[in-house]
Amino acid sequence: METLMELAATLGPRHCLTASDDIAPYAVDWRGQWKGMPAAVLRPGTTEEVAATLRACAAAGLAVVPAGGRTGLCGGAVVPANGPPSVILSLERMNRIRDVDARDFSLVAEAGCIVQNVQQAAAAVDRLFPLSWGAQGSAMVGGALSTNAGGIRTLRWGNARDLVLGLEVVLPDGRVLNDLRRVRKDNSGYALRHLFLGGEGTLGVITAAALRLVPALKRVETAFVAVPSPEAALNLFSRVMGSGAEVIAFELIIGTCMEIMSRNAVGIRIPLPLGSPWYVMVELAAAHPSVPLREMLEDTLAAGAEAEEVLDAAIADNEAQRAMIWRIREDWPDSGRREAPCINTDTSVPVSAVPTFCARVEAVLAERWPEGRLIAIGHAGDGNIHVSLMAPTGTPYEAWSARARDAEAIVNAIAVELGGSFSAEHGIGQSKRHAMVTHKDGVALDLMRAIKAVIDPRGMMNPGKMLP
Amino acid sequence: METLMELAATLGPRHCLTASDDIAPYAVDWRGQWKGMPAAVLRPGTTEEVAATLRACAAAGLAVVPAGGRTGLCGGAVVPANGPPSVILSLERMNRIRDVDARDFSLVAEAGCIVQNVQQAAAAVDRLFPLSWGAQGSAMVGGALSTNAGGIRTLRWGNARDLVLGLEVVLPDGRVLNDLRRVRKDNSGYALRHLFLGGEGTLGVITAAALRLVPALKRVETAFVAVPSPEAALNLFSRVMGSGAEVIAFELIIGTCMEIMSRNAVGIRIPLPLGSPWYVMVELAAAHPSVPLREMLEDTLAAGAEAEEVLDAAIADNEAQRAMIWRIREDWPDSGRREAPCINTDTSVPVSAVPTFCARVEAVLAERWPEGRLIAIGHAGDGNIHVSLMAPTGTPYEAWSARARDAEAIVNAIAVELGGSFSAEHGIGQSKRHAMVTHKDGVALDLMRAIKAVIDPRGMMNPGKMLP
């Protein structure tokens, strides 16, 4: 194809992959759920090369699927199965940290920087880049921003969106929107960057971002807590938030998860006895070493025990114990996968509705699928509970998927009814487009389509994703 | 006019004002700089009435200028002098706080709620609504959000935009975008609300918002500090941010301001001797009473004194002294106005560029207008320095405006050259449309116009504002 030969000349032949062996890794997502073959994988190394690539693809009528670390859960970075001829535009070579400024609490990173590398570059100047989740060692900045990634610290510092000061974006026609400023305040017109943040590459390609840093943490205290119920967890959450301590994480995990993990996880030590119906992980932090964080945590947990919100608690005594608590949280997806297939969701509700949500979901799923197991694990402090319905051990994925498929729609409907979302932090991609039809406000959908039509009139950017 | 008679029937005759005495207060901004006569002032009381009003105006070809507390500085809520026939749509009657939820750290307020009333409603449940600036006793939520208001605490909690969980917006055709949810995480499509936040009413009318609350502050320490230079102020800022204390405000004020205030302000006591070239106000806070905030502040200021960043400092010993420090900050606009006319700006630069910005501005203005006085007062912690060029005492406004008009463009150009903005927190309105032509990125302007054209195709929403 002529366009690809031209692009091979522009990018260099090593960065215009067309051999099927070279393309294969890009033709499937990491969970193996989404598959689609691109015509080529293009790996531009600069913003100008991204612009040239988009111009060439536009001229040739090739659709463009932007990709980064490809750790997403919704099939957003894979060519859709029945889509138009498409290329994968991988940002992996744009991996420079262009600037770090400790006085400005800012860092400018290209889209292909691995999130963990950004964290480390910030730490090297005594600053914290707070975005953090399990896949941070592979996930890249461009994907994190395009999906408005969440994670374990959004309670304190917000989603990816909240950590962006400025963006550089290549539009579908190859023009560059240069808003890569480090300035904290700018009220000169519409906040265009928020269309691309969380836009899942359907409006353009994020090539770089000015990111916000915060003061490094000097003290952290982490507890693993057994609680009798989601209601008790909510009361404990109110207590710890009301205490005035800086709460950076508050995770809720159903007891079933811990039992499965105790069987399946390798090298995990669970710091409390099994048997509690629910567990909580709470982490407090302070940027000043003189804040009496340990006492704050102990006092709050003691008061929680007195109020029967806390059954048992273990506070990490050192960094190794703290890391172990977080390993429990992060190892869940692997432990779960080793146990049995799941129907997964990514729901959120207002924090105060978490107990009602858990109770209603449990009742409905138990009645319809008594053989299934309720999994609930999530960021309770911001209302984002991932509910899954797990198959009995030994059930093949296809069988469970056929039998329990409706569970997703049922859980989504309960979340939306309680004022929540069917797509809290993972995005829509291919996996939740059908839910957009059911649950998204019609006026919002109309506006989304109108905006898509003016920025990408020929629908070349990541077709088959997000918009139903 | 038939449409107005219909609207009088819909809204009630008391809420469709057409008598010139009734209209007069809405025909001019509070500084008397922007004037324009509407055909009527409409005061709907519900979202449905706002929708009916917009439908009726669209049918009649009447442009709509939304208005709230009308404390803006850019003429955004006034009918433009040579604009099309327009009505003022005042949100003042939509002043209900619909919901306060301490557990969710959320509050749902209608657009006509006065910002200070929202602060008080939050305080009543031991929460803080952190948005705060001089006009908060008159400014309303709808205006604060439509202009993405800043203020004295954006360093810690961001602009208005950052405090919004969900929005209710009436579109130009009367449809209602209902995104008034209190959920903290929702990645289901484009972040539409960010178009209306800071959109200055050019895309629709914000009728209500779900707002984010934070834990109430249990301790606050405030200091008034004399510093030798903006460079010293920046070093002190790095020191206090690096100390790990929670810094909620860091304001920079040129000595000239203090001298003028010592002559013109009534009932102000300045806690340090006059004569320092620059002053800083710094405020630390903690939500937990056991944080040793006073010691943190004293230690930081002592280290700053040793490093010659601090010439002298006064820490407020009680709430009265603290209030006095903030009165100095907030009284400046009045004291300044009593002194002489000014050419004002609303510039921001990256924090690290504040000293360079101040030095370059001072040199250029002093050379061109040796008779003028440099005023610089602003939120140095987020790089937002308001520079003004003040006339010699006794100069009439018109004369100074004619002679020194260019000062604005010169200061704006320096800010933009240093990676900053010519419109940091006040918005564009009518007053900075010309600067949009000069300084706004062309691609960004194209995108803004395209979005405006699809959401408000007939250009009926707040014409003559923001878009050049």
Share above pLDDT 70 across residues of chain A, in percent, rounded to a whole number: 100
B246 interfacial to chain A (CB closer than 8 Å): yes
Cα separation, A419 vs A439, whole angstroms? 11
Look at residues A34, A32, A72, A67 and name the one whose alpha carbon lies nearest to residue A53.
Answer: A67
Cβ distance of A439 and B241 shorter than 8 Å: no
Cβ–Cβ < 8 Å for A140, A111: yes
Compute, in degrees rounded to 10, the torsion defined by CA atoms B214, A349, A161, A171. Answer: -150
Cα–Cα distance for residue pair B339/B359, rounded to 1 Å = 24
3-class DSSP state of A287 = coil
Phi/psi zone of residue A214: left (φ > 0), alpha (ψ -120 to 50 degrees), beta? Answer: beta
Residues A86, A71: Cα–Cα separation, whole Å: 20
Per the CB < 8 A criterion, the answer to whether B427 and B144 are in contact is no
- Please answer yes or no on whether B195 and A191 come within 8 Å at the CB atom: yes
pLDDT tens by residue, B313-356: 999 999 999 999 999 999 998 999 999 999 999 999 999 999 99
Separation CA B43–CA A368 (nearest Å):
52
What digits encode the pLDDT tens for the residues B146-172?
999 999 999 999 999 999 999 999 999
Asked whether the beta carbons of A176 and A47 are under 8 A apart, the reply is yes
A201 pLDDT exceeds 90? yes
User: Can you give the pLDDT at residue A221?
Assistant: 97
Render pLDDT for B365-417 as a digit per residue (tens, 0 to 9).
999 999 999 999 999 999 999 999 999 999 999 999 999 999 999 999 999 99
* Confidence at residue B23, expressed as pLDDT on a 0 to 100 scale: 97
Nearest to B384 by CA among B427, B332, B341: B427
Q: Which of B260, B258, B263 is nearest to B274 (CA)?
A: B258
Other C-beta atoms lying within 10 Å of the C-beta of residue B364: 15
Nearest CA in chain B to A147: B187
Please tell me if residue B440 touches chain A, with a CB cutoff of 8 Å. yes
Token output for B68: 């709230």
Please check the confidence at residue B254 and state whether its pLDDT lies above 90: yes
Pairing, β A86-90 against β A63-67? parallel
C-alpha–C-alpha distance, residues B294 and A409, integer Å:
54
Chain A nearest C-alpha distance from B268 (Å): 30
Query: CB contact, 8 Å: A197 with chain B?
Result: yes
pLDDT digits (tens, 9 = 90+) for A161-170: 999 999 999 9
What pLDDT is stored for residue A156 in this prediction? 95
Percent of chain B with pLDDT over 90: 95
Please give the pLDDT value at position B307.
Answer: 98
Say what the pLDDT of residue B288 is.
87
Put simply, the answer to whether A148 touches B187 (Cβ < 8 Å) is yes
Average pLDDT value over all residues in chain A: 96
The tokens for A457 are: 């009139």
Q: What mean pLDDT is predicted for residues B94-122?
A: 97
Query: Using an 8 Å Cβ cutoff, are A100 and A119 in contact?
Result: no
User: What are B269's two structure tokens?
Assistant: 């006591």
Residue B321 burial (CB < 10 Å; 0-12/13-18/19+)? middle
- State how far the Cα of A141 lies from the Cα of A265, in Å rounded to an integer: 29
Structural domains in chain A plus CATH codes: 2-90 (3.30.43.10), 97-215 (3.30.465.10), 219-417 (3.30.70.2190)
Tokens of B443: 């691609």
pLDDT at A1 over 80: no
Complex ipTM tops 0.90: yes
d(CA A25, CA B417): 44
- The answer to whether the CB of A383 falls within 8 A of the CB of A348 is yes
Q: Which tokens hold the place of B375?
A: 């005023």
pLDDT for A265 equals 86
Tell me whether residues A105 and B291 touch, CB distance under 8 A.
no
CB B105 within 8 A of CB B212: yes
Reported as a pLDDT band with limits 50, 70 and 90, residue B197 is very high
Q: Where are the beta strands (DSSP E) in B255-381?
A: 278-286, 312-315, 342-344, 347-348, 373-379
**Chain B contact for A439 (CB, 8 A cutoff):** yes
CA A287, A290, A291, A296 torsion-angle sign: positive
At position B218, the amino acid (one-letter code) is: K
Q: CB under 8 Å to B74, separation ≥6 — which residues?
A: B147, B426, B427, B428, B429, B430, B431, B432
- For B349-468, strand residue ranges (E) read 373-379, 384-390
Q: Is the minimum CB–CB distance between B212 and chain A shorter than 8 Å?
A: no
Is any Cβ of chain B less than 8 angstroms from the Cβ of A98?
no
B448 conformational bin, left if phi > 0, alpha if psi -120 to 50, beta if neither: alpha
Q: What's the CA gap between A124 and A97, in Å, rounded?
A: 13
Over range B63-70, report the average pLDDT.
Answer: 98
Please compute, for residue A372, the number of CA atoms within 13 A of its CA located in the half-sphere on the CB side.
Answer: 28
- List the one residue out of B154, B166, B173, B155 whose CA is nearest residue B196: B166
* Gap from A242 CA to chain B (nearest CA, Å): 6
Say yes or no for a CB contact (<8 Å) between B101 and A350: yes
| DSSP bridge partners of B128 | B214
Q: In this complex, is the C-beta atom of A220 within 8 Å of any C-beta atom belonging to chain B?
A: no
Ordered alpha helix ranges (H), B212-251: 230-242
pLDDT band at B437 (very low <50, low <70, confident <90, very high): very high
Q: Which residue, among A330, A369, A356, has the nearest Cα to A419 in the 3D structure?
A: A356
Query: Which of these, A376, A232, A197, lies nearest to A305 by C-alpha position?
Result: A232
> By C-alpha distance, which of B96, B104, B379, B326 is closest to B214?
B104
What pLDDT is attached to residue B65? 98
pLDDT, tens digit (0-9, with 9 covering 90-100), for A35-44? 999 999 999 9
Top residue of B187, B205, B354, B379 to mutate, by most chain A CBs within 10 Å, is B187
What is the band of A275 on the pLDDT scale with cuts at 50, 70, 90? very high
Handedness of CA A15, A47, A91, B451 (dihedral sign): negative
* d(C-alpha A179, C-alpha B23), whole Å: 41
Q: Do B422 and A171 touch (CB under 8 A)?
A: no
Question: Does position B1 have pLDDT exceeding 80, yes or no?
Answer: no
Cβ <8 Å between B189 and A467: yes
Instruction: Report CB contact under 8 Å: A185, B443.
Output: no
Instruction: State the Cα–Cα distance between residues B167 and B145, nearest whole angstrom.
Output: 10
Average pLDDT for B184-205 = 97
Residue positions counted in chain A: 468
Mark yes or no for CB contact B187/A292 under 8 Å: no
Three-class SS of residue A91? coil
Residue range B441-465: average pLDDT? Answer: 98
Whole-angstrom Cα distance, residue A443 to residue B189? 12
Q: Which residues of B touch A246 (CB under 8 A)?
A: 287
| B266: pLDDT strictly greater than 90 | no
